[in-house]
Amino acid sequence: MRKSSIKRNTKETEISCSLNLDGVGKSTIATGIGFFDHMLEIFANHSQIDLTLEAKGDTHVDYHHTIEDTAYVIAQGITKSLGEKKGINRYGFYYVPMDESLSRCVIDFSGRPELIWKVNLGLEKIGEMDTELFKEFFKAFANEAKCNLHIENFYGTNNHHIIESCFKAFARSIKVAITIDKRIHDKIPSSKGVL
C-alpha cells in the first residue's frame, strides 16, 4: 500500500499528516482555518487520497505559515508514498466547472518544480482566508513535490467557485497522475530512467 505519515514541527507550526494514495477520499482535517479545511476535504474527496491532517500554527500572526507548511507536508507525504514513482501515469490534467466558473489543472511529477498560476480573484478574502495564500499553497506544493503544476481559471465571477474549481481540478489531476499503469507497473515513466 502506498501510505505515509509525516510530521513537521517548527517555531511557526506543528503539523501531522497521514495519507493513503490508494484510498477512497476519506478525510479528517483540522487546521483552524475553516475555508482551508473545506478545500482540503474537497482535495481528499476528489483525489481519492485518504487524508488525516492536523495543523497548529501561529495564526495570531496570520495564516501564511500554516497554509504553506501544510502544503509542504502533503507534498512530502505524496512524494514518500510514490517512492521511485514506478508505474505511475506521471502526468494528469483535468477541467472542472463549478457553476459559472471553469478551471484547469495540469501536473507532471517530473522531479522539477515549477508553478504557473493564472487565477485572478476579485476579493482579498474568502471567509477568513487571504486569497493571495492560495497561490502560496500551490507554490509550496510544487516546490516540495518537485512537480510542474499549471493551474488556470478561464472564467468565473464568484471567488468561492473559482477557488473550489481549482482545488477540484488539482485533486483530479493528481488522481490521474498517481494511478498505476499496469503495462508499466515496474518501470519509471521517463526515458531517462529516473524522476
User: What local confidence, expressed as pLDDT, does residue 1 receive?
Assistant: 83
With residues binned 3-state (H G I as helix, E B as strand, rest as coil), the percentages for the chain, rounded to 5, are: 35, 30, 30
pLDDT in tens, 152-184: 999 999 999 999 999 999 999 999 999 999 999
pLDDT in tens, 138-155: 999 999 999 999 999 999
pTM: 0.97
For the structural domain made of 3-184, what CATH number should be given?
3.30.230.40
Strand partners of residue 15 = 8, 55
User: What local confidence, expressed as pLDDT, does residue 193 receive?
Assistant: 87
Task: Indicate the domain borders of the chain.
Answer: 3-184
pLDDT at 9 over 90: yes
The secondary structure element, H or E, covering residue 193 is none
pLDDT in tens, 39-63: 999 999 999 999 999 999 999 999 9
